[in-house]
Amino acid sequence: MNATRRGSLLATVVATFAMIFTLLLPAQSASAATLPAWPNMTQGTSGPNVTSAQYLLRYHGYNISADGNFGPGTADAVRQFQTAKGIGVDGQIGPQTWSKLIVSVQRYNNNEAVKGAQVQLNRYGYNLTVDGDFGGGTHNAAVAFQTAQGLENNGIIGPMTWQALVGGTPGGGGGTPGFSLPLAKSALPRGEYDDPHHDYPAIDLPVNNVPAYAMVSGTAYRINDGATTGCGYGVKIFKDGVEYQYCHFSGWSVSDGQAVTAGQQLGTTGNTGNSTGPHLHIAIKINGVKRCPQNFLLALYDGVTPPAPTSLPTTGCFY
């Protein structure tokens, strides 16, 4: 074989391997590219992400309470952990600290890290008992979550699944950090979110037996007017002097006085209370004055920052 033919053959082989490598590379990096950013948490933060971090710190040997409140004790534990791991010591839980905190957990494990993973899965509506036992229910929830996120659905909660869990926004989403639609975007078309209410500023969304999610982060309180009167079973979230009210649930997914994050499941829609048919009733109140929620909800649907509740009108959104 002459030099020209050898050179041509070699070039063909190299080009073939380069093409194969190029085809494989996007597939390998696609999942990593779609992962949400790790949240950065500082002292004073509260919610399930804090709870998960506290369980992970407990796994690493730090005797702190997993109460969901990032207080001085948790900050001290974080600084000690950062010192032990040789990373920047600032008492905050950011991307570098998260990557050191997380540990892979899988079926048949039983430890504090599993509790942290169960807390995260519950953010997405899987309603697991937070007992640290990675049994069949936790495994199935992990597989379901991974499948929904386009991750390898092996039921092992490793680095990529942890990041998708902790950094993601469950529920209706909407593409705006800190906010979520009260329903999965697939539940209703956009046109349902601008309908007027029948007699005062509010909105009725025609759904039944689907998850309802927190539109904002705040403190949630159960509403229990009973199965046949008033709001029925519902939830109200308080944040910065604003009340976000949900009515006519069939059941709750949060406890009374619980800190919730945007996108966290609050309950399941139904037909309790003073209701003529299954629906989710939404109202926004400031100092007891009801505001029209339609523009707020339309912004959430469109994935843009919603208007300030104080700017929402008090008339013009009912018959």
Tell me the C-alpha distance between 216 and 171, whole Å.
11
pLDDT in tens, 238-283: 999 999 999 999 999 899 999 888 888 899 999 999 999 999 999 9
Residues 303 and 195 in one domain: yes
| Number of domains observed in the structure of the chain | 2
- Is 33 a domain residue? no
Phi/psi class of residue 278: alpha, beta or left (left: φ > 0; alpha: ψ in -120 to 50)? beta
Rounded mean pLDDT, 306-315: 96
Strand 233-239 versus strand 242-252 pairing type: antiparallel
- Is 28 a domain residue? no
Residues 93 and 206 in one domain: no
Does this model's pTM top 0.75? My answer is no
Tell me the C-alpha distance between 138 and 28, whole Å.
27
Residues 105 and 209 in one domain: no
Q: What is the pLDDT of residue 25?
A: 38
Q: Is the pLDDT of residue 172 over 70?
A: no
Per the CB < 8 A criterion, the answer to whether 171 and 213 are in contact is yes
State the residue range of the domain holding 248.
190-311
Residues 142 and 212 in one domain: no
Residues 161 and 264 in one domain: no
pLDDT in tens, 185-222: 778 999 999 999 999 999 999 999 888 999 999 999 99
Residues 156 and 244 in one domain: no
Residues 141 and 219 in one domain: no
Q: Is the pLDDT of residue 49 over 60?
A: yes
- Is 13 a domain residue? no
Residues 139 and 206 in one domain: no
Strand 211-213 versus strand 265-269 pairing type: antiparallel
Residues 261 and 148 in one domain: no
Residues 291 and 221 in one domain: yes
Q: What is the pLDDT of residue 186?
A: 77
Per the CB < 8 A criterion, the answer to whether 140 and 153 are in contact is no
Residues 113 and 213 in one domain: no
Residue 305 sits in a domain whose CATH number is 2.70.70.10
Residue, of 232 and 26, whose pLDDT is higher: 232
Strand partners, 93: 41
- Is 248 a domain residue? yes
Residues 235 and 153 in one domain: no
How many other C-beta atoms are found inside a 10 Å radius of the C-beta of residue 36? 14
- Is 316 a domain residue? no
Work out the percent of the chain whose per-residue pLDDT is above 70.
87
Domain boundary at 99, 132, 167, which?
A: 167
- Is 304 a domain residue? yes
Please choose, from the candidates 79, 80, 98, the residue with its C-alpha nearest in 3D space to the C-alpha of residue 90. Answer: 79
Residue 91 sits in a domain whose CATH number is 1.10.101.10
Q: Is the pLDDT of residue 2 over 60?
A: no
- Is 30 a domain residue? no
- Is 280 a domain residue? yes
